[in-house]
Amino acid sequence: MEEEAQNRRLVLAVGLCLVVWWFSVLTAGPGVQAPVSQPDAGAVATSTLSTPPPRMAVTTATATKPPPPMVVADPELFDFEGAVPIDDERIRFALSLTNVGGGIERFVLPSYYERNADNVATDEPITLANPTASIANPEEAQFAQAAAIGFGKGTTFNAPERMVFEVVEKTEDRIRYRFRTRDGVEIEREYAFRKDSFEIEMAVTVRNRSARPHDYRLELSTSLRTNQAMEQGGGFFSGFVPPPDHLQTQCYTDGDVERANYRDVDGESEAYSDNVRWIAVDRQYFLGAIVARDKETGECELMAKGDTARAVMKMPRVGLRPGEERRHMFTAYFGVKKPSLLTRVNAGVEEAIDYTLFGGLNLAPLCTALLWILGIIFSITGSWGFAIVGLTLLVKVVLFPLNQRSMKSMRALSALKPEMDKLREKHKGDQQRQNEEMMRLYREHNVNPAGGCLPMLLQMPIWIALYRALWASVDLYQQEFLWISDLTTRDPYWILPIALVVVMFLQQKTMPSTMDPAQQRIMLYTMPLFFGFMMAALPAGLCLYILANTLLTIVQQHLINRSIGPMEGPTPAQEAKA
């Protein structure tokens, strides 16, 4: 094969690899949702929650509006606080319930802070429930409330959209509400909490105290309101990077998680009816989910209205004769999206963490492995930044034999450059003959012209998976390192991207090459600038990894040159002078 054509293909292959990687890291949204199937007669539904209220969260589109007048003068609140132990830390939480609707009025994670549209942390804590007791419109209040209940089509008794419950039992960690309709049907809501868990046990009991039979279909929903970080995106880089946070509705149906961005279901809901187990409203690192514990499976519906996203779980239709009752059991999870905590729910809620790309490519095994390794190194160093550097060093050690063979291949190619130039000149007008002679030359010297690209190709899946892990893992959220306040956001001073440009330039300049001068200039200038531009917008933790990898590559090149001898052939700088 002719060297020039081969080099063009090599550069093209590297470029395509970079394009694939760049496209993959920019792909944050889920795939298109499947069409809804007809519900089964005996189906149940599930639901989840996660909501930042306008009082507690970053300024939202509705935060500047004056609050509507109170419908209930003095809603009765039930407050509860706890701290969940995980690894060597305790994650605090605080919540309030309201008797107006009987749902969650407030849920706060004081240890974590909201971001603004520029991906900068504010002084407002993460909030996972919207206050609704003061909303005047009952329909709007029910739509926005976390853990709201309602009764759908087929219900034969009259239940208002917003029920004002009576507190009939209350202890330090348990509360029971009751509401009685005009038809003589009692509705009870029960909550039980633990100070060391994000899980909330819930029950809804429907009791027929009337003299006639009644049918009903219970609906349980949860909602979340947007904030600036979700609505406006990444500031200066908002045209080509994902926003600092996202707002999705989720439904776990038939073993798969269906996801819908709130913009995609605004005014056009999506419904699923196959073996629905839970629903949720999801943020980047935080989740509010409700799991149905009844044996029957039902339906879920994902929707949005303006700045509020909502997931609804629709239970199967139930008939009650006079004196009969039916108790429905649920588990809610409000808190961080940490796999070890989500797995304890024992309902597949850990699948809410999205490690997919292109709407389907699942990187969960590789992401999980990287996070596990990072966790081990963090337990030793006490710093997530040093853990990333340690991961880089570990990868380099593992790939050292492959890199050594790669550099031997590059050295062999460099030694063949004079003969390649002669063949190119000799068969200048015969492209086919050039290719044949080049291929013969490679075979005679047992040289693989693409051998030097293999280590980079093996590194790229790690880069992609590390990016996705940083995007989805709460472990690195708001973790500081040197001047960086959060490894999951971009470097605020662009120190790491600029350093990466300089180091990559030096690396390219000192490496021998068999490319022609034009191709060398592309690799010498374009690649460092391209990577630096990308890293200015992507998480600082990823930039730290690539910078450490490049520095270690230079060191590794020096060590390999000492063991096998320096590679022959001109460097890009020498070629440019010639």
Q: What is the pLDDT of residue 449?
A: 65
**Partner residues linked to 299 by β-bridges:** 314
- State how far the Cα of 365 lies from the Cα of 339, in Å rounded to an integer: 13
Beta strand spans in 410-495 (E): none
CA distances from 352 to 30, 37, 417, 472 (A): 12, 22, 53, 10
- State how far the Cα of 423 lies from the Cα of 438, in Å rounded to an integer: 7
Q: What is the pLDDT of residue 33?
A: 35
Q: What is the pLDDT of residue 248?
A: 93
- State how far the Cα of 265 lies from the Cα of 510, in Å rounded to an integer: 53
Q: Which of 28-32, 101-105, 398-402, 412-416 has the lowest mean pLDDT?
A: 28-32
133: exposed, middle or buried (Cβ count in 10 Å: 0-12, 13-18, 19+): buried
| Mean pLDDT, residues 275-283 | 95
C-alpha closest to that of 490 among 535, 545, 549, 547 = 535
Q: What is the pLDDT of residue 21?
A: 40
Q: Which two tokens stand for residue 264?
A: 């995609």
- State how far the Cα of 198 lies from the Cα of 84, in Å rounded to an integer: 7
Q: What is the pLDDT of residue 527?
A: 78
End-to-end CA distance of the chain, in Å? 25
- Residue 57 or 526, more confident: 526
**Partner residues linked to 368 by β-bridges:** none
- State how far the Cα of 59 lies from the Cα of 242, in Å rounded to an integer: 20
- Decide if pLDDT at 11 tops 50: no
Q: Which two tokens stand for residue 452?
A: 């030097």
Residue 239's CB is within 10 A of a number of other CB atoms, namely: 8
For residue 524, the 8-state DSSP code is I
Quickly state the pLDDT bin for 312 (edges 50, 70, 90).
very high
Residue 140's CB is within 10 A of a number of other CB atoms, namely: 16
CB 279 within 8 A of CB 49: no
Instruction: Output the CATH code of domain 51-222+281-296+314-355.
Output: 2.70.98
Residue range(s) in the chain whose domain bears CATH number 2.70.98: 51-222+281-296+314-355
Q: What is the pLDDT of residue 140?
A: 93
- Evaluate if pTM is beyond 0.85: no
